[in-house]
Structure 1
Amino acid sequence: MSKLVKTMITSLVVLLIGAVAALVVVLNIAGENKEGEARSIDDIVEYSYETPEITTDLADGAFVRIQFQIVTDGKEAKEEISKRDFQLKNILIKELATKSEEDFKAGLGELEQVVKNKLNELMTEGQITEVYTINKILQ
């Protein structure tokens, strides 16, 4: 009986050590991949599209002139978003027409997220990773 217990404990310890070793290896490999995914500023600039300035009215009659920098995940996505410029303008006009001057001042991050989500619904050759407001004038 004691020999059986020793064999079982030894087997469990060996399995436990093997599981811990496997876990360490998996976590280290996953950590290295995440570090490699960090994009350099050169990549961000290379795959970015700067929209033309868009001037439109808000719901309360105020006017806004706005411009965005749209960051994509690759060359094909950048080319596609430049071709979809008219759809981007349409999205912006529709979104801005529902906002007042106060909404616009407080919810710029929300507008960027809406633009990103709606553009990603249209994209077929990649994705939009970030939308930055680079120019904004309220009148």
Structure 2
Amino acid sequence: MKNNKLLTIMLIILVSITLVGVVALVTVNKWDKGSAKEPNIDDIIEASVDVPELTTNLVGTNFVKISLKIQTDSKKAAEEIGKRDFQVKSIVIEEMSEMTKEDLEGKKGKKMLKNTLKTRFNELMQDGEVQEVYITSYIMP
């Protein structure tokens, strides 16, 4: 009877210690995620690559001139995407040659293009990833 009481008390203490440990671990993890600093503009520029102006035909008789800036998650990823410039240009031309003038009109069209390019660029990447694609110049007569 006495051993049974002692076992119950030890089990309660063990469960209490485990519970306190789990709560502490969760609290520390939540606090640590909240303190992750956002990159400053110098870090963003260092991890970005410019795509010079490209001119390509759209479906139909229209064409577009476009320049891009590709933001990656690290300097190493930016170096990789810079080396893959010929693949990047090819992807831009492939995607845009399947689009119509109407596809690119307005914010919605440009956002769709940027998301499509981001997805395709990330398929190329081996070190890091593309975080954002910015349209820095855009002319469609």
* TM bucket, shorter chain: 0.7 to 0.9
Equivalent residue for 2:70? Answer: 70
Identical-pair percentage: 37
- Separation in 2 of the partners of 1:132 and 1:16? 52
Runs in 1 of length 4+ with deviation above 4 angstroms?
A: 7-14
* Greater CA drift, 66-75 or 18-27: 18-27
Tell me the amino acid that sits aligned with residue 111 of structure 2. G
Q: CA RMSD in A?
A: 2.6
Tell me the amino acid that sits aligned with residue 68 of structure 1. L
* TM-score (normalised: structure 2): 0.80
Q: Secondary structure of the residue that 1:53 maps to in structure 2?
A: strand
Please, which of 116, 126, 129 is the counterpart of residue 127 of structure 1? Answer: 129
- Separation in 1 of the partners of 2:97 and 2:130? 23
For residues 32-71 of structure 1, the C-alpha deviation after alignment (integer angstroms, 9 at most, x for no partner) is 2453252222211111111101111111221111111111
- Separation in 2 of the partners of 1:65 and 1:71? 20
* Greater CA drift, 106-115 or 88-97: 106-115
- Separation in 1 of the partners of 2:42 and 2:82? 19
Instruction: Return 5+ residue gaps in structure 1 as ranges.
Output: none
Tell me the amino acid that sits aligned with residue 112 of structure 1. K
Q: Secondary structure of the residue that 1:36 maps to in structure 2?
A: coil
Within-5 A mapping of 1:65-104? 65-104=65-104
Please, which of 103, 111, 116 is the counterpart of residue 109 of structure 1? Answer: 111
Equivalent residue for 1:41? Answer: 41
